[in-house]
Amino acid sequence: MSELMTETEAFVEQVQAQFEHSGSWDMQALENGLREALMKDGCHILGALLSQPDALGRHKPAGTCQGRRSKRVQSLLGPFELNRGYYKSASGRCFPMDEVLGLTDSYTPALAKMMCYAAGTDGSYDEAEETLSVYAGVKVPASQTRRMVQRIGPEISQWSGNREELRREDASTLYVSYDGTGVPMRKSETRGRKGKQPDGSSLTREVKLGSVFTSKSFDKEGIPVRDPGSTSYLASFENSEKFGDMMLREARLRGLGNAKRVAVIGDGAHWIWNLARVNFPQAKQILDFYHACEHLSKLAHAILNSDEDAVREKLCKWRKGLERDKVLDIVAEARKFLPHHGPRRDTALTEIGYFESNAERMMYASFRKEGYFIGSGVVEAGCKTVVGKRTKQSGMFWKISGAQNVLDIRCSVRSGTYDNYWQYRWQKQVDALRTAA
């Protein structure tokens, strides 16, 4: 083994000589240099172990090895040369060692996993490249990480909807929450779509984000507490119907059938309540309290115009009423002060209609008494942390497929299922090798 540790031995001798000359240690240089030397020797060890003629072991295929070819493999320790045999197969020449090691292109599973993790958690592919270099000591170009994400993203998406979910214990309350946010797109992805630009065009496409979490405890003030590690996320550019199917499947994976009760939380978007009605007909529907307060403000300004003191006083009164299940009383009072004509009347009528159509979803005193959350903070924060921080950085313009792949990985990481996917991928590879044998 000593002949494979030449880099480390040489570095140790060099450091010892420097110490004997100076009488002091440069700890930072010692750590960095030793890590680099150990990684280089680790690559030598990997190459020697995996290039042995009998390295295939019990996975050696029938037939005669036709020869050996070298392949430069990128690993978590750095690059090494893999000298492996090739065999004839029905599809041509094959290298069974590549399958035994689980290589994706030329990358080992451990490095592929780290590449996708960095791409999904950092703000950009360039940041992922820097992270891998600084913290892992491996050099992977941003373009290669992007290619890996394009390969792994669809696989994670498919696996996620059919995974074996361990968080299926009985929950007091299972929450399903929806929201949507725009992601900046290339012109080819928004051509012909209506938007908010002055010319009516769109610069974004909406990605729908959903979260599922559970709660079975309360704090000292009786406010429900989200179960630690219980939140899972889904993000998709699909239409609301398809996204609804995805969220229903996720809720079932998370134990929908065992939950004592279910609640759907969202803002006033019609597509959210349509999905709730179709997919969770027995669920309690709760409109996010803070969205309701925003609409109270619009209503107060429409009725009272620019009298800020009067608006502030009215809002204080109405908010207390909203917290006491008095939404219809607020509507009745607002109607008494409707402007006779003009844009302010139109705005006021629109807001009144909003409160009337959502009145049953604004029974906040009742919801609190029954122990429900009344805010959609989980999914709204997710729009910023899951979607925004990765896809809305300055200068970013996406293709739908590219954004979807990175969001699938990011959702898996934030949902706590990322390690499970790689375990599944490894087990699938092992099963395939057993079948082939």
Q: Nearest Cα to 416, choosing from 384, 386, 377, 393?
A: 386
DSSP letter for each residue of 252-317? HHTTGGG-SEEEEEE-S-HHHHHHHHHH-TTSEEEE-HHHHHHHHHHHHHHHHTT-HHHHHHHHHH
Q: How high is the pLDDT of residue 437?
A: 61
pLDDT in tens, the chain (437 residues): 667 789 999 999 999 999 999 999 999 999 999 999 999 999 999 999 999 999 999 888 888 899 999 999 999 999 999 999 999 877 778 899 999 999 999 999 999 999 999 999 999 999 999 999 999 999 999 999 999 999 999 999 999 999 999 887 777 899 999 999 999 999 999 988 887 777 778 899 999 999 999 999 999 988 999 999 999 999 999 999 999 999 999 999 999 999 999 999 999 899 999 999 999 999 999 999 999 999 999 999 999 887 888 889 999 999 999 999 999 999 999 999 898 889 999 999 999 999 999 999 999 999 999 999 999 889 999 999 999 999 999 999 999 999 999 999 999 999 999 999 999 999 999 888 877 76
Q: How high is the pLDDT of residue 168?
A: 77
In the sheet where 67-75 sits, what is the strand order? 67-75, 78-89, 92-94
Run of H or E including 207: strand 204-218
Q: What is the pLDDT of residues 60-92, one digit of tens each?
A: 888 889 999 999 999 999 999 999 999 987 777
Q: Tally Cβ neighbours within 10 Å of residue 413.
A: 19
Q: How high is the pLDDT of residue 349?
A: 95
CB 347 within 8 A of CB 298: yes
The SS3 assignment for 399 reads coil
pTM of the model: 0.91
Q: How high is the pLDDT of residue 212?
A: 96
366-173-411 Cα angle (round to 5): 120
Retrieve residue 274's tokens. 């349509």
**Distance separating alpha carbons of residues 327 and 172, to the nearest angstrom:** 28
CB 324 within 8 A of CB 376: no
